[in-house]
Amino acid sequence: MALTKKLPDKEFLLERYKYDSDRGVLISKTNQGAGKIVGAHNGSGYLRIRILFKGKSQTFKVHRIIYFLETGKEPDIIDHIDGNRSNNHISNLREVSGIQNMGNARKTKKTTSSKYKGVTRRINWKKQWTASIGRSGERKAIGCFWSEDEAAMSYDEFAEDHYGKTFALTNEKLYEDLLVNKLSFIFYSSCRGHFGFKNSYKFTIENFFKEVTMFKRFKKSCHIKYSKEETLELDKIENWLAEKDFFVVKTEGEWKHNDLLNSHAKEYYKDQLKMFTKEVGEIPEKEFSLFCEDDYLIRSDKNLSFYLKEGVDFLQKNPQALCVRINSEPNKKTEGATKINDFIYRQDEDYTPYGSTLTFQPTIVRTRDWWHSLRIINNNLHLLDSVHCEILSGQVFKQFSDDESPFYFFDPEVLWCEHIGEKEKLERLNGITNQ
């Protein structure tokens, strides 16, 4: 039995109305109202229209007519994805079940102190923001979080994982605006591995999925360096990354650490620039990029999403700042640095013997400026014969800011990275113990 009354025939409707896809509205084609937008709001926020069909006058919801005209389908329930019942763009309409439709109902009553669905504030708790979700008369706790935004993102992630993508993604625009639309993830790996272990990349990537809310929605790319003898290992890494929705770029080449030709540094700069090409697609268009090598694990006192948001917000508010780095654990040095806020320090000129500079620990960079820096360095690779690669990167990158010290890092007491490209650490991660 249908839950809603049947619409007039499609031919009848097409004679009288047309759908304006640009504005998401229904337009009259009849003589008296030709060219006018039809529909009036009812008390529940829907647009309705009265139609005389087969001698009987009835009211119908405008969004149902639009969906019928565009798809030819007449489902029992049509949901407004963004919760706005007046937004009748066809891209905002979808067929759902009754439970899904209720789950996507917008938060209309001020029953909690959060602006987001599924989020509540507990003032006396250390982690003040909690997320929970209701379904079929039951409410399930998702977790406690440091920030309201993080709780809202976790709500959506849980809803999608447990109830499907069409259920209750009412906070979806939040993480898209804050991170996914602004920050890309660029990963660098090789088939060579470290100390005989060739799976450090798995530990690094799995850690990101664990620590970054909605990491699966990020635009993710990986560059893999390989030699002719490593094609089987290349296929293995590429297939694993493809399952994680990575765009993979591969380069065949030979290099050695600490050789007289500085082949490792020169090849690495070439690989970095390759990730900012049209081959990679949309990634260079992101305003910011987080780059990371395959032998770092991010550690923090909070969910990493919180700090990535803080880093992106900081760079947006400070246009002369070029990057925010995550220091490695042994480098918890803050002497020679100025604390800017609760989470971020600025490198001053005496932070290192060489001044402030960019190093290749996990770092959020201003994408376009870093891309231009890589182009300049790649046109002058001979300089690496006399200048250390990280000193050169800082000297070039710094030219894109008017500040003398445009390099920043997260407070290593709250956010740091563990370098796992060491034999003992890889043995531990792989469950190998020395008796």
Query: Where residue 393 sits, what CATH number does that domain have?
Result: 3.90.550.10
Helix axes 200-211, 304-317, angle to 10 degrees: 80
87 domain-assigned: yes
Contact 328, 419 (CB under 8 A): yes
Question: What pLDDT was estimated at residue 237?
Answer: 95
Assess whether 294 and 262 both reside in one domain.
yes
Tell me the two tokens of residue 273. Answer: 């620039």
221 domain-assigned: yes
Assess whether 172 and 192 both reside in one domain.
no
Assess whether 204 and 173 both reside in one domain.
no
Q: Is pTM beyond 0.85 here?
A: no
Task: HSE, CB side, 13 Å, CA atoms: give it for residue 128.
Answer: 9
- Quote the CA–CA distance of 47 and 45 in Å, as a whole number: 7
What percentage of the chain carries pLDDT values higher than 90?
32
100 domain-assigned: no
Name which residue leads in pLDDT, 330 or 92.
92
Identify the top-confidence range among 88-97, 114-123, 297-306, 413-422.
413-422
Q: What is the pLDDT of residues 187-200, one digit of tens each?
A: 999 998 888 888 99
- Quote the CA–CA distance of 329 and 346 in Å, as a whole number: 18
pLDDT confidence bin for 104, thresholds 50/70/90: low
Q: Which of 37-46, 230-239, 397-406 has the lowest mean pLDDT?
A: 37-46
Burial string for 233-270 (b: 16+ CB within 10 Å, else e) reads bbeebbeebeebebbbbeeeeebeeeeeebbbbbbbbb
Among candidates 291, 410, 391, which has minimal Cα distance to 346?
410
Question: What pLDDT was estimated at residue 197?
Answer: 87
161 domain-assigned: yes
Q: Which of 27-31, 137-141, 310-314 has the lowest mean pLDDT?
A: 137-141
pLDDT confidence bin for 281, thresholds 50/70/90: low
Assess whether 410 and 320 both reside in one domain.
yes
Query: Where residue 48 sits, what CATH number does that domain have?
Result: 3.90.75.20
Average pLDDT rounded to a whole number, residues 223-245: 93
How many structural domains comprise the chain? 3
361 domain-assigned: yes
Question: What pLDDT was estimated at residue 52?
Answer: 86
Q: How many other C-beta atoms are found inside a 10 Å radius of the C-beta of residue 368?
A: 16
**pLDDT of 101 over the 70 cut:** no
Contact 337, 408 (CB under 8 A): no
Name which residue leads in pLDDT, 260 or 310.
310
**pLDDT of 169 over the 80 cut:** no
Assess whether 214 and 89 both reside in one domain.
no
pLDDT confidence bin for 249, thresholds 50/70/90: very high
Assess whether 201 and 332 both reside in one domain.
yes
Assess whether 188 and 147 both reside in one domain.
no
* Structural domain of 213: 182-426
Structural domain ending residue among the three candidates 150, 177, 204: 177
Helix axes 263-274, 367-378, angle to 10 degrees: 140
**pLDDT of 111 over the 80 cut:** no
Q: What is the pLDDT of residues 376-388, one digit of tens each?
A: 999 999 998 888 8
- Mean predicted lDDT score pLDDT of the chain: 82
Assess whether 356 and 389 both reside in one domain.
yes
Assess whether 79 and 132 both reside in one domain.
no
Structural domain ending residue among the three candidates 177, 196, 225: 177
**pLDDT of 258 over the 70 cut:** no
pLDDT confidence bin for 30, thresholds 50/70/90: confident
Assess whether 53 and 124 both reside in one domain.
no
Assess whether 18 and 91 both reside in one domain.
yes
101 domain-assigned: no
Among candidates 291, 355, 276, which has minimal Cα distance to 326?
291
432 domain-assigned: no
Q: What is the pLDDT of residues 299-321, one digit of tens each?
A: 887 678 878 988 998 999 899 99
Contact 405, 349 (CB under 8 A): yes
pLDDT confidence bin for 370, thresholds 50/70/90: very high
pLDDT confidence bin for 290, thresholds 50/70/90: very high
431 domain-assigned: no
Question: What pLDDT was estimated at residue 82?
Answer: 66
Q: What is the pLDDT of residues 52-69, one digit of tens each?
A: 888 888 888 999 999 999
Query: Where residue 119 sits, what CATH number does that domain have?
Result: 3.30.730.10
Structural domain ending residue among the three candidates 152, 177, 202: 177
Assess whether 392 and 254 both reside in one domain.
yes
Question: What pLDDT was estimated at residue 226?
Answer: 92
